[in-house]
Amino acid sequence: MKAKNCLIFGGSGQIGKNLIRKLTKNNYRVTVVTRNIHQKSYIIKTQANAGYIDIVEANIYEEKKIRELFKKSDICINLIGILFEQKKGNTFNNIHTVFPGLLAKLCKEYNLKHFIHLSALGINDAIDSDYAKSKLEGEKQISKNFPLATILRPSLVFSQDDQLTTTFLTLLNRLPFFPLYYNGRTKFAPIHCSDLTDTIHHIISNNIYSKIIECIGPEIISFKELLQRLLQLINKRRILVPFPLPIAELSAKFFEMFPKPIITRDQLRLLKYDNISSGKYKTNSDIGMPSKRYFNDEVKKYCYMWREGGQFSTEKYNSNIDKEKKIS
């Protein structure tokens, strides 16, 4: 069987790396587009066997170069997204609206079989968030330019390579207290990265078109409960302090001065809204791909890095110590 050619934008992140491994193992050839081949290629090229992966350097403004890639592709997958705006054109509008619209237009122009776009859950309700508005407008541009596209809306995506649990674990490990925004009531349905990539592969291999699919994990967790679970997993006790909204906005404004802010005012506005299934669209379970990986079970596999004793605090070493005590 001839291998299908997949063109992936955003292949160096946690989802991209997992997806590359999944697709190439199933006889798909992958072309990964990255902005900086010198920084990212050494990570990307180890995700697949030689001959199944090509790495191309291009940015979202090089339309001529991107067009050439579409000529030999069957499927396009867009995983690019940002959580905060930066200078040099890295704005929500450019990344989440203009660029996906361009990709959808090229998919139609070059008769690609499929276009899969990664959006975000809860954007319909978050009308006061620039992030959400740009994502929603991007979806409209995609549907207009390439009606066959499949749009995925995941809740929080976690794995050992994420910027979510790893950041929280680092902060919880170092700080004596941690702020709770909106009293920690915001609900999430965290989905493991492998469950999400399994869903993407299922959509490609079963030719699922023209749908918005909400990708959720097997359990609903509040923000406060998420922090409590992480603390329990690393055997730490910290004070969770509810932050009044004015103080929260002031702190977010302060963090925005840093190159990589912990939280921004726009993210703070997003936290007002639950990040769970809306009930208006099909979920990954409805298309036959229910999430199987639970939050605690998966985070437990890598959270030892934030525990006292590191790897020697895992069950593997603790069980050996217990055996030695019984023998002695």
Q: What domains appear along the chain, each with residue ranges and CATH number?
A: 4-158+190-218+276-293 (3.40.50.720)
Report how far Cα 174 is from the mean position of its chain's Cα atoms.
Answer: 25
Residue 1: which pLDDT band, with cuts at 50, 70 and 90?
Answer: very low
Provide mean pLDDT across the span 144-155.
Answer: 96
SS3 (DSSP) at 214: strand
Q: Looking at residue 171, what is its pLDDT?
A: 94
Q: What is the pTM of this model?
A: 0.91
Q: Looking at residue 47, what is its pLDDT?
A: 81
First and final C-alpha spacing in the chain: 60
Angle at 200 between CA 233 and CA 100, to 5 degrees: 105
Structural contact between residues 176 and 239, judged by C-beta atoms closer than 8 angstroms = yes
Please give the Cα distance from 303 to 290 (Å, whole number). 25
Percent of the chain exceeding pLDDT 70 equals 95
Q: Is the confidence at residue 288, as pLDDT, over 80?
A: yes
Structure-token pair, residue 196 = 């999400």
Adjacency order of strands within the sheet including 282-283: 53-57, 28-34, 4-9, 75-78, 114-118, 150-154, 212-215, 282-283
Q: 298-311: string of b/e by CB count within 10 Å (b at 16+)? A: bbeebbbebbeeee
Q: Is the confidence at residue 327, as pLDDT, over 60?
A: no
Q: Which of 29-43, 65-79, 168-182 has the lowest mean pLDDT?
A: 29-43
Q: Looking at residue 4, what is its pLDDT?
A: 87
Provide mean pLDDT across the span 242-262.
Answer: 92
